[in-house]
Structure 1
Amino acid sequence: MPEQKRWSKLTRWATAGMLSFSILLGNVFPVHAETAAPAAPQISQWSVKTLHEGEKYGIYPINWYYDGSFQKAITPDKLKTLMEGTATKLDKLGFKKKVASLSFPTDKVITRETVITSLHKLLANYELPKAFDMDADMEPIDYLQKKGIVKGTKAGLELDKPSTVEHAAVMASRLVEFAYDVAGVGAEGLMWKVTNDKNTLYLLGSVHLGLTDMYPMQKSIREAFDASDNLWVELDMLNGDMSYFNEKMQYSDGTTIKDHVSKETYEKLQKALTKLDLQGNAFDGFKPFAISTSLSTLGYAQNPEAYQMAMLTGIDNYFITKAMLTGKPIHELEGIKLQADLFANVPPAQQEKELNAMLDSILTGNGIKESEESLKKMQLDWIEGDAEGLAKLLEIGFEDEASKRLIGERDKNMALKLAKLLEKEGENTSFVVVGAAHYVTKGMVVDLLKEKGYTVQYLQ
């Protein structure tokens, strides 16, 4: 089979936006249990909205939330890590540096003023366009206050007091967003604007597993969300009751996978689990579709930090959390039951066939590597706003029966619900996040809305 046609389940599901994909990544199987983050991060209420953005930039380790020091004085080592991470993010703007590398204070006590001047030093080290309005005669604190990176009056800043890790992370996050917005760059994303009279829909294609390069997104995407009255998603993964889906994935009659598949399939499963250094009974209670989905994610399970960031930077999770933080209503286009049934109702023989295909890819050594390569290509298409590139990739990938279940009838139903939003009385604006495949695939949601006569514009 040509390399370009080796389209992995992981990538298809990440693109089509299936509930099971997100659930199986970390909320069900013990295979992934070691990657679960602690339940209570140490984050203050005042900083949550900023850090919801900043943590996606990759400028500081997420484990800082949980190591007991986030709200304590920042150490020289952590200041160095934060500044280097911020510099790496700023380097991607492409501006020429004045000095190849910078040094940062190693004083025992790092004050708030030290953090502020260090961040200013980072920014001032680039040959910046006039739009940055960088005045060499302006004091660092005055400049960062003027640009909204430092908030409050000088009297209330308590510049001589030690800076906490949290304060430093917040200001570094603001600096990155400011720099990207002024430079007019950021991840392009895949977004369409659909209008009918006074009603507007912003359609944003989602990728469940993300990269730090997806953030910050273009300011226009964030502004579209801010201007919307509500958020629509396939399903609310963060607030929904997943018990129905969990029940559908498992056998409830005391039987195991061994009782439902052929001897050959079960033996192949054992070989694959051995190759992956997993216990032979790891998935005994689960149905074939649940096992094949979980196995497709094991490339991330091998690297807990990469897995955590991939989940954290997923587009759906980002906007659902953002809606929760801003009090924006969240509505579902499908819901948990619909998507759970979509998988669970597949005939057992077909489930076994698809499980065998997954096991074969693992045993030949191609599965995990191809998943990672395909997913990376899709993520890059999203960052570059390359809807055509992603569409071509999907033309190759959505040919088998398993893939066809992900799009088709679901898209028609989504389009009907979106049309109702466009026909509502008055003036209404909604932000709609669903799997990118539903938008870029020919004849699906975007094309269906065009056929209904609505004005559809791709925003780039």
Structure 2
Amino acid sequence: MKRNWMRRLLAGAGAALLLSVPALAAEPQLPSAWSVDQLADSYAMGLVDDNYTTYIQSTVTLQQLEVMTDIVADKLALLELPQRPADGEALVVDTTRGGVMNALYQEAAAYDIDGVETGAQAFLCTLGVVQGDQSGQLHTERPCTYEEAMVMANRLILALYDQNDAGSLGLLWKATNGSNTLYLLGTIHLDRSNVYPLHKSLRDAIDASQTVAFELDLNDLEGIALLQSMQTYADGSTLADHISPELYERVQAASDALGMGPNGLDAYKPWALASTFSTLSMMDDTTSANAMAIDSYVNARAVNSGKQIDAVETYAFQGGIFDGLSEEYQESYLDACLALFEMAQGGAAAEEIQAAAGEQEEILSGMFEAWKNRDPEAFSEVYDKDAIIHSGDELNSKLFTERDPGMIQAAAAYLEQEGENTVLLAVGAGHMVDPGGIVSGLRELGYTVELVP
């Protein structure tokens, strides 16, 4: 799995393009139209993976069902509901629709939930988890496809989270101007801290928007290809020609450990590897199986709903910020990020690196806690954007001073569109908060901006 993360991060395409079909030797199994709106959440929570077109229409196996029920159990445990004594009679669990319903029901029946005493079929139908055919038949004896089991598992998790007003709220504001509405979502370009599922209010904001805009269009294959070309050397040199032998040896070891081979990363520039190792070092056992960054989830949900996708920056502009870093900075950037990754993999680390890793963990935990609680003040306190901008760091200041003004202008343009429009703008949360953030920037321009309650 880490090898897949590595390739996805180096490609610069954090999106799971759940409507695209990978090239396969066998005929791909496409999701049914009725399940497409479930794919983003299912992928985010690990109910499907990147190879779903090889099995989604096949009969679910008992092993697959066990993985699904484990995910449901883990998600329901996070709700901390009152527990319920086990039923005396065991239900039949098999790969029929009825057996899958029983398996999922048993996970919910461990808790004191309204209606759970009515039994599997009644409980799941009342929640909307199971929906029969046009005549209302549930076809419990029929073999259950993976797709059907996935949808039932996903619906069960979301229904119980919504019933308990649970899920990650996200840093979400609403700006208005006449008939125009602009939702502002500050994202974190990671998946950790059991961030999924997202709260219904956030999912509803995505669904209500006609256009969903990001920093970059995660579906722009030409832009992604451009970023890939910027990440690699085109002059015939390799990584070994640009960093010290000691650092290169460490990259070789990391490449081998990640399954990329001893020379698998030779083509990449230090800044590209640094960004990737940094992201990998921030993942932990609270990261979902697919490591789906929040931006990628929003994109997948929007694409699968047929939304118009927009971007406020280009790959050339954003990639240029990194590619324009001095060689000295790139080498030190790679050194620091690789050290954090090595420590995360259990390697020995100097006291300085241990301290940096501890600080990183404290900041990340605080950021995600604030994000999940929709608490921008707490986020700003732990993130400390002012210190980042004035740190003297070659990269950090550019990430904001060269970008925030353009994002404010783009946000204002959405509010000035003719007609009645609803847009959601999802960019890094650091661009939303002060100093110089989008929220205060729009207020200074005279727009009404309020935190979504």
- Counterpart residue number, 2:231: 249
1:63: Cα distance to partner? 7.3
Write the distance in 1 (CA, Å) between the matches of 2:400 and 2:359: 22
Alignment match, 1:144 = 124
8 Å contact kept, 1:188–1:217: yes
5 Å-filtered alignment, 1:168-179, equals 168-179=149-160
Cα distance change on mapping 1:238 and 1:374 into 2, 3 Å: farther
Which of 93, 99, 102 is matched with 1:114 structurally?
99
CA displacement 1:20-66 (0-9 Å, x = unmatched): x998724279xxxxxxx9766755223232132133234x4637837
Q: Is the 8 A contact 1:270 1:280 kept in 2?
A: no
The separation in 2 between residues aligned to 1:280 and 1:250, in whole angstroms, is 17
Find the counterpart in structure 1 of residue 372 from structure 2. Answer: 383
Whether 1:269 aligns to 2:247 is: yes
Structure 1 position 411 matched with structure 2 position 404: yes
Say how many residue pairs are matched: 418
Q: Which residue of 2 aligns with 1:73?
A: 59
3-state SS of paired residue (1:331): strand
**Which digits, 9 at most, give the CA deviation of each residue in 1:349-395, with x for residues without a partner?**
44344345446666645466765664344333322223222212221
Q: Which residue of 2 aligns with 1:55?
A: 43
Contact 2:408 2:441 (C-alpha < 8 Å) held by counterparts:
yes
Q: Which residue of the partner structure matches residue 346 of structure 2? A: none
Any conservation in 2 of the 1:113–1:160 contact (CA below 8 Å)?
yes
Q: Partner of 1:309: helix, strand, or coil?
A: coil
Q: Could you say which residue in structure 1 is the equivalent of 2:18?
A: none
Q: Relative to structure 1, is the Cα distance of residues 99 and 415 closer, same or farther in structure 2, using a 3 angstrom cutoff?
A: same
Q: CA deviation at 1:96?
A: 0.7
Structure 1 window deviating more from structure 2 (214-223 vs 71-80): it is 71-80
Contact 2:45 2:197 in 1 (8 A): yes
Change (3 A) 1:22 1:334: farther
Alpha-carbon contact 1:93-1:180 (below 8 Å) kept: yes
Letter in 1 for 2:250: A
Q: 1:160 to 1:440 in 2, by over 3 A?
A: same
For residue 402 of structure 1, report the CA deviation from its aligned partner.
Answer: 1.5
Q: How far apart, in 1, do the equivalents of 2:284 and 2:130 lie?
A: 39
Residues 6-25 of structure 1 correspond to what in structure 2 (within 5 A)?
25=9
| Gap change, CA 1:255 and 1:110, over 3 Å in 2 | closer
- Larger helix proportion of the pair: 1
Which structure 2 residues correspond to residues 302-321 of structure 1 after superposition, within 5 A?
309-310=290-291, 312=292, 314-321=293-300
Question: Whole-Å Cα distance in 1 between the matches of residues 88 and 428 of structure 2?
Answer: 42
Which residue pairs with 1:126 in the alignment? 111
Q: Could you list the per-position Cα deviations for residues 87-110 of structure 1 after superposition, in whole angstroms to 9, with x for gaps in the alignment?
A: 221222222111269996566x53
In structure 1, list runs of 5 or more residues that go unmatched: 1-20, 30-36
Residue 92 of structure 1: aligned partner: 78
Q: Which residue of 1 aligns with 2:207?
A: 226
| Structure of higher RCO (CA pairs closer than 8 Å, 6+ residues apart) | 1
Q: Contact between 1:249 and 1:290, CA under 8 Å: does it hold in 2?
A: yes
What is the CA distance between 1:227 and its match in structure 2? 1.5
Q: Give me the whole-angstrom Cα distance separating, in 2, the residues matched to 1:22 and 1:201.
A: 34
- Per-residue CA deviation, residues 372-429 of structure 1 (Å, 9 max, x unaligned), is 6643443333222232222122215552232111112311111011112212232211
CA distance in 1, matches of 2:228, 2:142: 50
CA distance in 2, matches of 1:103, 1:236: 52
Structure 2 residues not aligned, in runs of 5+: 14-20, 343-348
- Alignment partners' CA distance in 1, 2:225 and 2:364: 28
The aligned residue for residue 161 of structure 1 is 142
Amino acid in structure 2 at the alignment position of 1:375:
L
Contact 2:255–2:265 under 8 Å retained in 1? no
Counterpart in 1 of 2:220? Answer: 239
The more displaced of 88-97 and 37-46 is: 37-46
- Aligned identity (percent) is 32
CA distance in 2, matches of 1:430, 1:140: 40
Name the CA shift for 1:188/1:155 in 2 (closer, same or farther; >3 Å). closer
Quick one: which amino acid aligns to residue 427 of structure 1? E
Single out whichever of 400-409 and 359-368 deviates more from structure 2.
359-368
Alpha-carbon spacing, 1:144–1:307, altered in 2? closer, same or farther (3 Å): closer
Query: d(CA) in 2 for partners of 1:385 and 1:103?
Result: 43
